[in-house]
Every structure is written in C-alpha cells, then in structure tokens.
Structure 1
C-alpha cells in the first residue's frame, strides 16, 4: 500500500514539473517584452518628446500585450506584462533611457 503512495507522489511531482516549465518560460518572455516596452516608450517620450499614446501606436506586434505608464517627475516609464513581469526604464540625460 505504501508503494502506491510513493509512486503517486513521484508521478504528481513529474506532472507539476512539466506544467511549471511553460509557466516559467512565459514569465521570462513577459519580462523581455516589459523591458522592451519600457525602454522604447521611455526613449520615445523623453528623447523624442512624444506622448505615450503616440509612442504606443508605433509599437511592433506583441508590445500591445504590455501595459505602460509614465512617471514624469522621475522621468521613468514602467511596463508590465499581465501584471506578472514588470520593468522600468529611466531617462538619464546623455545616457538616454536605461532599464532597471
């Protein structure tokens, strides 16, 4: 009887591991998109002098899945992908916009 529980636990652990692999990859992909959106929008707003709405209209496919907002006081743009992955880019004068 005890061997059944051990086998069941191993099978369950394998299934959970298989399910978490794609979730981790999606989170990593989301972080890449969030960083790219933050950096692109930051440069567009603080270097080119455009509004966030104008900048977002020019986004490449896939960037529309990320939300972005601007903090004009900090000269910073923050973006998040499905509220899971989040990144910020800050305007630093001659250095341009740098991500965190």
Structure 2
C-alpha cells in the first residue's frame, strides 16, 4: 500500500506529462483547422480593407467610425491607415493582411495577393 507521501510525489511527476500531452493535443488541433482559419482570415481582411478604404476615401468618414462597419465575427481584424498612400490595411495577427488603395476612377482596389 502506498503512503500519502508517495502519492503526492507521483502526482507531482504526472503534471509535466499532462501539460505536455495537452500542448501536443492543442498543436494537433491547430494543425487540423489552420487552413480553415487562414482562409477565413484572408477573406475577412480583404473584405475589411476594401470596405474601410471606401468608407475613408469615398465617404470621408473617420477610420474609427469605419470600424463600426465590420461584420459580426470580425473582432480580431484590425484596421490601419496610410493617409499619404490613400490606403487602408486590415490584418489578423499572425494570419493574414490585406491592403486596399483608392485609385481615381476605380474607387478602392485591393493590392494583389502574394503566395
């Protein structure tokens, strides 16, 4: 029969292995869904950049006011502006980024995507 002290020691030895197993499961889960997240992030940033650029350059609203135009579920998309280039960049940290620029006669156009 094990003494209480040895059970405590066994529990302490088990925690690093449990933590390692949890990290491995998280990594496998991320690997499984990363393409879906990445695709959604690319589409979301492209949409947000184009809409926010039009909001700024065509409608003349502030970037803060244009933030209100983001759809539900786009909370992770952040917007930034380059006033000199007349562009807006939308990004999801570590996943995707897209820039739309105002072109006279065309409105706001997305920069080409790079592979």
Aligned counterpart, 2:40: 29
State the Cα distance separating 1:58 from its structure 2 match.
Answer: 2.8
2:77 is equivalent to residue 66 of structure 1: yes
RMSD of Structure 2 on Structure 1 (CA): 1.8
- The structure that is helix-richer by fraction is 1
CA distance in 1, matches of 2:69, 2:90: 16
Choose from 68, 80, 85 the match for 2:96: 85
State the Cα distance separating 1:85 from its structure 2 match.
Answer: 0.4
Choose from 89, 100, 106 the match for 1:95: 106
Once structures 1 and 2 are overlaid, which stretch shifts more, 47-56 or 80-89?
A: 80-89
Aligned counterpart, 1:20: 31
2:67 is equivalent to residue 56 of structure 1: yes
Higher relative contact order (CA closer than 8 Å, sequence separation 6+): 1
Query: May I ask how many residue pairs the two structures share in their alignment?
Result: 85
Higher-Rg structure is 2
CA distance in 2, matches of 1:62, 1:82: 15
Structure 2: 5+ residue stretches without partners: 1-26
Distance 1:71 1:19, change over 3 A: closer
Following TM superposition, the consecutive aligned residue runs of length 4 or more in structure 1 with deviations greater than 2 angstroms are 16-21
Alignment TM-score, normalising by the size of structure 1: 0.76
2:13 is equivalent to residue 41 of structure 1: no
